[in-house]
Structure 1
Amino acid sequence: MLAAGAGVAPAVPSVLYIRRLASGHIYPVDRVPGTPVGIVFGALTYADGTPSSFLRGRLDLGLELLRRKKIDSILVSGDHDAEFYDETAAMRDYLVDHGVPANRIIVDPYGFDTYDTVVRARDVYGAVAATMITQSYHLPRAVATARAVGLDAVGVGDTSVRVRRIAWTKGLIRDQLACVKTVYDLATKRRPMQEGSARLPDRVAPLTAD
């Protein structure tokens, strides 16, 4: 635990900056303002295409927001080309299997990290306002990053997998450390990694309700 604390300590200024940017824009499900699109960030997917419990928690939260009419569409963003799985295909299939019409799902296969996802949502898919959907420990960074790049972003966090204490704690610590890279990316205005993005349209219609 002392080693973990020593690792997190240098990230404190970045964590505080991220939390300040996100402050006032994180809500419970029943009070989150409506936006045209919810962005579900990718997470571990098994080789058979089954989403992990962490990813299911995010997707189920997206489903709830759709059912409550808090969002009109869902953008699933992740790594489509990992060695053993395709995050975005698994996310799309899960949503379709749970009754979401295919035309309400936008797939971004090049969301390699949080920063890439929100910049691509803005630049490739035309998003202006969006709801970030992820685990609650990741939510401040997701909301702050999106707002820093110009999205009118709010967020709702999943806590359904908090019972998995070891995995949750590891994710929490890892996310605090990731704040350092996020602040650097924002400061340098890094362009997303878009290898293979020519397969996507140069520009598609803004994310709005049908």
Structure 2
Amino acid sequence: MKTFLKKHFKKILITGILIGSIILSINIYIVKSTEKYVYTDIKKLPKVEAVIVLGAKVSKEKLSYVLEDRLIAGVNIIYADKAEAILLSGDHGRKEYDEVNSMRKYIIRRNFNIQNEQIFMDHAGFDTYDSMFRAKEIFNIKSAIIVTQDFHINRSVYIARSLGIEAYGFSVDESMYKETVRFNWKAREMLTRVKAFKDVLLNSNPTYFGEKIPITSNGMKSWDTIEKSK
């Protein structure tokens, strides 16, 4: 092994530098091309068709603090009359793990002044690319405010705009989280941006398509059958 490394050290070094340069270039491009569309002040946001709240970890029906922060910000954007509908997009690929219904039930449990008809649910938002693709193709969203934390916001806006959505990002404050947590988010995000760049470049398909439910219709059409009857 040592002999192999000595023999091929130069090639390995050049390859490593090349890969690192590509990763860095893609990250810079995604951040720089989207930063003008990212806001931290709700009052300055433009008016759009829908707010898209991206899912995050839940435990049974309890939202993680990350997701709770996103959802509250999304509700406040609706309150500010920046959109008429809210799309909750997340992972509901298994019966025992359900981000979207957890978000919807949180809104209802907290008695937020949002009508059921305004709440749309994307049960197949397994990653950010799937969420944005389906927002465009399944929910026919033409303009949106995407809500997520700062580390994630540029990639989200980049994907949405690349797919044809007039997208703006609301960056949820993440300063209350530990520095080590934020560092890990940002380190992982560098690689995830490369995947997003690849998905956009190849015009990848989402995990699932499905029946169209326009964001201008009744959001309850996107709810689970069992939940509709309750």
- Give yes or no for TM over 0.5: yes
Contact residue 57 and residue 161 of structure 1 kept, 8 A: no
Question: Which structure would you say has the larger RCO, counting Cα contacts within 8 Å and 6 or more residues apart?
Answer: 1
- Normalising to structure 1: TM-score of the pair? 0.87
Q: Superposition pairs for residues 148-167 of structure 1, below 5 Å?
A: 148-160=162-174, 162-167=176-181
> Hey, what's the Cα distance between the residues in 2 that align with 1:91 and 1:9?
39
Is 1:204 aligned to residue 182 of structure 2? no
Work out which of the residue numbers 71, 74, 77 in structure 2 matches 1:65: 77
CA distance in 1, matches of 2:194, 2:171: 21
Q: Which has the higher helix share?
A: 2
Q: Which runs of 5+ in 2 are unaligned?
A: 1-16, 220-230
Q: Percent identity?
A: 27
Q: Structure 1 residue 173: deviation in Å?
A: 1.5
Q: Does 1:132 align with 2:146?
A: yes
CA contact (8 A) 2:138 2:214 kept: no
1:100-138 CA distance string (max 9 Å, x none): 221111000000111110010000011000001000110
Give 1:52-201 correspondences, 5 Å limit.
Answer: 52-82=64-94, 84-98=96-110, 99=112, 100-160=114-174, 162-194=176-208, 198=210
**Quick one: which amino acid aligns to residue 53 of structure 2?**
V
Residue 64 of structure 1: CA displacement? 1.0
- Structure of larger gyration radius: 2
What is the RMSD of the two structures over their aligned residues, measured on CA atoms?
Answer: 2.2
1:37 corresponds to 2:50: yes
Deviation at 1:170, TM superposition (A): 1.3
Q: Which residue identity lines up with residue 184 of structure 1 in the other structure?
A: K
How many equivalent residue pairs? Answer: 199
Q: Aligned-pair distance for 1:207?
A: 3.5
| Range with greater deviation from structure 2 (142-151 or 79-88) | 79-88
TM-score by length of 2: 0.80
1:11 equivalent among 20, 23, 47: 23
How far residue 160 of structure 1 moved from its aligned partner, in angstroms, is 4.5
Mapped to 2, the partners of 1:206 and 1:89 lie a distance apart of: 18
CA positional deviation for 1:165? 2.5
Query: What stretches of structure 1 of length at least 5 have no aligned partner?
Result: 1-5
